[in-house]
């Protein structure tokens, strides 16, 4: 087999500085200049092999094992999101899978609609510019808290929302800021992290006890966990709720920022969305059944996720040699796949840089690993169906109530963190529908 193309950097440092500064640009350059499997030189840290074509992505995700997420475990506990491959991961996956079945999520739609309508009523006023970054974070946090606890009056939802909002930013900073201040130092942020994680765990734990004594009447994540608890302790259930909170809020919120921003820049697709929603629903509430009959909201969400996927890079380790793109990757190698790069691969997608939701309206076949915004294979995010439902619901309700004019300032960049954040944050003008 031929040698694997190598992209090198300066001695000792390698490509580390470039990777920290612009990992997305590095992936695109590597694929464009060197092909579908590239060795990236990370200096004294060794090498990582990047696979870009769906065939290679499949090999990596189906044969590699997930790297240990020690930092996330320290921050959030031992939930599914932070568990490596193995029996413990399988046990946790089986616990969570029933929570995200389509029929159960459809029944949760009224729960999700309440905080969405409240946000629109209180803060989204025609004639004003809306901060999409701040608003999508507030809305998705509120939707997640209500989906977890329901409408019970014995849960301190404002405290849960405040703690979750802070933790999202704190975890993001711990994972991607460089350099970071050790968490043992008594800084204001570290002290608040310890206070908020303790408060959130207490709120969840108390709700579990209360729910056993007084079951709710609405389907929620918490009652679903209790129904399938088996041999899980309450401490483990709290870990899982924290995993759901962190994994399912920041990524969805950022995806919806992009979806709304892209619609504001492409009024023809926004009008097609409004036309379908008006014809199918009029002013009726978007229930789970009604959402299933719509195609445009789902297509817009999928296209936004194609261009700006939350799981923009996934790391794996292989224990045996692996053949990719006509090359042999050695045993023990570290590999990385980037959905951002694969979703923009000119050999895989037509007009890859163009926002066009219509590409999702047909039934054309597509390589299973050409599109993986939430990962793929056994470790695909268990909550991807919930994220799609939130997106469908928000876009449908927004189409019933508003139009978005172009932002005052164009988006000029993308900041990679837990998700891909637009820079600067879009502030489109709200207009009446």
Alpha-carbon gap, residue 61 to 380, rounded angstroms: 10
Average pLDDT, the chain: 92
Q: Is the pLDDT of residue 162 over 80?
A: yes
Contact 141, 249 (CB under 8 A): yes
pLDDT digits (tens, 9 = 90+) for 374-395: 988 878 888 999 999 999 999 9
Q: Is the pLDDT of residue 355 over 90?
A: yes
Tell me the binding residues: 381
Q: What average pLDDT does range 120-136 have in this prediction?
A: 96
Contact 324, 316 (CB under 8 A): no
Q: What average pLDDT does range 145-163 have in this prediction?
A: 91
CA neighbours closer than 13 Å in the CB half-sphere of residue 126: 8
pLDDT digits (tens, 9 = 90+) for 221-257: 999 999 988 889 999 999 999 988 888 888 899 999 9
Q: What is the pLDDT of residue 406?
A: 85
Contact 240, 78 (CB under 8 A): no
Tell me the binding residues for heme: 381
Question: DSSP readout, 125-182?
Answer: -TTSB--HHHHHHHHHHHHHHHHHHTT-TTS-HHHHHHHHHHHHHHHHHHHH-SS---
Q: What is the CATH number of domain 52-432?
A: 1.10.630.10
Task: State how far the alpha carbon of 129 is from the alpha carbons of 98, 287, 399, 403, 408, in Å.
Answer: 40, 28, 16, 12, 9
Q: C-alpha 316: how far from its chain's center?
A: 19
Ranking 41-50, 64-73, 74-83, 153-162 by mean pLDDT, the lowest is 64-73
Length of the chain: 433
Q: What is the pLDDT of residue 148?
A: 94
Q: Record the tokens describing residue 225, joined without a space.
A: 């966990």
């Amino acid at each position: 087999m031929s040698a694997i193309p190598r992209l090198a950097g300066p001695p000792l440092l390698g490509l580390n500085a470039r990777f920290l500064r612009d990992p997305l640009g590095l992936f695109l350059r590597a694929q464009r200049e060197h092909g579908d499997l590239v060795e990236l030189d990370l200096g004294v840290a060794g090498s990582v092999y990047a696979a870009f074509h769906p065939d290679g992505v499949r090999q990596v995700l189906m044969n590699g094992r997930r790297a240990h997420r020690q930092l996330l475990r320290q921050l959030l506990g031992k939930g599914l999101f932070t568990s490596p491959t193995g029996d413990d991961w399988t046990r946790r996956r089986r616990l969570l899978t029933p929570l995200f079945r389509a029929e159960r999520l459809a029944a949760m739609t009224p729960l999700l609609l309440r905080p969405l309508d409240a946000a629109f009523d209180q803060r989204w006023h025609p004639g004003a510019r809306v901060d999409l970054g701040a608003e999508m974070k507030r809305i998705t946090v509120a939707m997640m808290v209500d989906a977890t606890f329901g409408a019970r009056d014995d849960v301190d939802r404002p405290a849960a929302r405040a703690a979750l909002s802070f933790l999202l930013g704190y975890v993001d900073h711990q994972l991607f800021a460089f350099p970071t201040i050790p968490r043992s130092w008594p800084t204001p942020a570290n002290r608040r992290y310890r206070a908020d994680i303790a408060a959130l765990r207490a709120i969840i734990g108390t709700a579990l006890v209360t729910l056993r004594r007084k079951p709710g009447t609405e389907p929620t994540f918490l009652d679903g966990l209790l129904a399938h608890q088996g041999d899980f302790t309450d401490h483990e259930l709290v870990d899982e709720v924290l995993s759901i909170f962190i994994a399912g809020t920041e990524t969805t919120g950022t995806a919806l920022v992009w979806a709304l921003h892209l619609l504001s820049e492409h009024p023809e697709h926004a009008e097609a969305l409004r036309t379908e929603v008006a014809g199918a629903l009029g002013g009726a509430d978007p229930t789970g059944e009604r959402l299933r009959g719509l195609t445009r909201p789902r297509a817009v969400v999928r296209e936004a996720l194609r261009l700006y996927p939350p799981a923009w890079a996934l790391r794996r380790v292989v224990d045996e040699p692996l053949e990719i793109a006509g090359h042999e990757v050695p045993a023990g190698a570290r590999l990385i796949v980037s959905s951002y790069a694969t979703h923009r691969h000119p050999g895989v997608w037509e007009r890859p840089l163009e926002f066009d939701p219509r590409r999702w309206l047909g039934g054309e076949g597509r390589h299973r690993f050409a599109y993986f915004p939430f990962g793929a294979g056994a470790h695909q995010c268990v909550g991807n169906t919930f994220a799609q439902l939130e997106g469908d619901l928000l876009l449908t309700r927004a189409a019933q109530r508003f139009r978005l004019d172009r932002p005052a300032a164009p988006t000029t960049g993308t900041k990679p963190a837990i998700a891909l954040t637009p820079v600067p944050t879009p502030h489109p003008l709200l207009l009446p529908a």
